[in-house]
Amino acid sequence: MKKTILIQYAIPKEGLKELSQSYHIIYPEKDYFTHEEMLKQIPNCEALLSIFNQPVNAELIEAGTKLEIISNYGVGYNNIDVDTATKQGIAVCNTPEAVCEPTAELCLSLILSLSRRVAECNHRLRTETDFKWGVMQNLGQTLHGKTLGIIGMGKIGKSVAQKAQAFGMEVVYNNRKQLSANEETDLNITYREFDELLKTADVISLHCPLNKSTHHLISEKELSMMKSSAYLINTARGPVVDEQALANALEKEEIAGAALDVFEDEPHITQQLMTLNNVVLVPHIGTACIETRIEMAKEASQNLLDHWEKGRSKNQVN
């Protein structure tokens, strides 16, 4: 009898073809299954293909009495109660490969938009009848010769480092574990202690996972250590930054600006941020490319195939 997989969200079916050839798939008729619908379906399923922005809590996991694996559609898996899954003997996987390049691309676009005031000027040009043009108006900052500080040197961080160097930026980084000397040489990057990075970088970009140690990693204290001319970029997870503390720092111009793809309580955004010209806000679109969405579906599917056919997925996180 075929194993059954519950697909939480209506992700591209093109990425599920190989999976559907060998296993039975339960796919939502609308955009997604509600929590209540999931609770009804999960007892009959050996696998759950979950989505990064929907919770998979203890109640749902414990209801999955036949559940063997949860494959999360996304690199972040803080939406899943991994501790409960582990206690139940359930493997948890993510999709780190497919999300890498598009997230790095968005990061660079946010840095450019912020430093060259692209989003701000676009908005003001459209809405202000007295918007001023001029040689000494609307001045931003060039990236060439500036220092980019990356916090979290995983796959995405490394891709951002390479792309930033094409703009003439020096790259320093902080990571839970320092890379080998060979890796640092190959990537042309330099390790910095956390506080030193905060004090010296012109642009700080966050690429760390969300966990207990990184919750509010950037708060009032850390923001006060940054240069008044520095920019903060967050394409990681919203709660890595204390959003209210950031809004206050931006309003007081304690730092030059911020660009955010993620927020503490999505889709809610701290209202104070919405009123400021020195912040760029986008609605969690780091991987929002149709090609990427298909590749994420393929990678999430491959996790399931590898788990059952090879004994373990390379993307298992617990």
Catalytic amino acids?
Answer: 237, 266, 284
CA distances (Å), 25 to each of 6, 10, 39, 217, 226, in order? 6, 12, 16, 39, 50
Kindly report the number of other CB atoms within 10 A of residue 293's CB atom.
18
Listing DSSP states for the chain in one string gives ---EEEE-B---GGGGHHHHHHSEEE--SSSB--HHHHHHHGGG-SEEEEETTS-B-HHHHHH-TT--EEEEESS--TTB-HHHHHHTT-EEE--TTTTHHHHHHHHHHHHHHHHTTHHHHHHHHHH-TTPPP-TTSS-----TT-EEEEE--SHHHHHHHHHHHTTT-EEEEE-SSPPPHHHHHHHTEEE--HHHHHHH-SEEEE-PPPSTTTTTSBSHHHHHHS-TT-EEEE-S-GGGB-HHHHHHHHHTTSSSEEEES--TBTTB--HHHHT-TTEEE--S-TT--HHHHHHHHHHHHHHHHHHHHTSS-TTB--
Residue 281 identity (one-letter amino acid): L
How far is the C-alpha of 130 from the C-alpha of 21, rounded, in Å? 61
Q: In this structure, is the dihedral angle defined by the CA atoms of residues 295, 71, 75 and 223, taken in order, positive or negative?
A: positive
